[in-house]
Amino acid sequence: MDDEKWLERELALDPDSTKDQALVWLSRLATGEADADLLAEFERWRDADPDNAKALNEARQLWLLIGQPLETQYAPTLASQPPRRRAGGSGRHRLRGWLATAAVLALSCILGTQWLVNWRHDQVTATGQQRIIALGDGSTMWLNTASAADLRVDDDARHVRLVRGEAYFDVARDPAHPFVVDAGLGQVTVLGTAFGVRRDGSDVVVTVQRGKVQVAGGNTPPVIVEPDQSVRVHAGDPSKHVELVNAEQTLSWRTGRLQFENRPIGEVLDELKRYDNRLVIVSYPNADSLRVSSVVDLARIDEWYDTLGQSMPVEVTRIGAVIWIRALATGA
């Protein structure tokens, strides 16, 4: 049927996958429009193989965990589809058509707003994208995922405003012109060094790999941050907390990899969400009791999820744009 083929295409489902077939069947039955022929076809599929019934049960659990129809989770993708016209459509069909039209309008507003926000900035990256920018003074800036920055680097000044996200700087030394990064709550001033700046909500985190930087902001005097040190400037805390870190590990994202050492799985998954638009659902009691030491290749995130399922007491299921992580039946 056209409906399930459309669903398979839009959610990147594999028609040969039993789990994905179950999701398609669930979506068809959930419309409330199934007739006797469709129900008979469904029962034949369900009874043809015990794995089909098992997959259907898992799809139901996933549906409930999401807490709302899958169409809501994938509104930007599904809204791009024109509403289907059906002869003699019922009130239900008309309502679905109106909702689809409203979704398209909402998407247009969202995309328009994003364009208006992004066009004003000199450098912008999307989710999962990174960019290397050669600055006019010989310095280099790496812009991380979902970030934006404004630049003024010329003979008179060296100034970068990090609007959102994260950046790494390898700064050419110039004593006559300090290099300044303004990240809202925190301002970083250097002469020549290598360091990272991240806007984490309203906080600003500065990590130094080489040289020294001065970090100002908040209600306390500036602090000097040295190699393998990090400082967080927090709006609700007047002090600046400097701590020892492994800068190479913390800033490894610029090499296309993320490094984690003994980190709670929840923190790891939250970090991966910055690079991946898919919906991640964790169904595991006390999930953060699981700790992860791993290197994630950002170009091969799916391979890492596969490895996670092999190395820890969890089962990882990918259904379209959903990643479901849950305890094994024999696990915790």
What was the pLDDT predicted at 58?
Answer: 75
Domains in the chain, CATH or no CATH each: 2-114 (no CATH), 124-246 (2.60.120.1440), 256-327 (3.55.50.30)
Task: Please choose, from the candidates 313, 321, 329, 324, the residue with its C-alpha nearest in 3D space to the C-alpha of residue 64.
Answer: 324
What was the pLDDT predicted at 154?
Answer: 84
What was the pLDDT predicted at 15?
Answer: 65
What was the pLDDT predicted at 241?
Answer: 82
Contacts of residue 325, defined as CB under 8 A and 6 or more positions apart, other chains included, come to 269, 280, 281, 282, 283, 284, 287, 308, 314, 315, 316
**Which residues are registered as beta bridge partners of 314?**
327
What was the pLDDT predicted at 32?
Answer: 55
What was the pLDDT predicted at 208?
Answer: 97
SS3 content of the chain, % helix, strand, coil (to 5): 35, 30, 30
Using 70 as the pLDDT threshold, list the residues of the chain that sit under it. 1-16, 26-36, 39, 61-119, 238, 320, 329-332
The Cα–Cα gap between 178 and 73 comes to 46
Q: What is the dihedral of CA 162, 167, 169, 174, to 10 degrees?
A: 0
What was the pLDDT predicted at 108?
Answer: 46
Q: 3-state DSSP call for residue 257?
A: strand
What was the pLDDT predicted at 166?
Answer: 97
Query: What phi and psi, each to the nearest 5 degrees, are found at residue 144?
Result: -85, -175
The Cα–Cα gap between 228 and 246 comes to 5
pLDDT tens track for 82-115: 333 434 444 444 444 444 444 444 444 444 444 4
Q: 3-state DSSP call for residue 41?
A: helix
What was the pLDDT predicted at 149?
Answer: 94
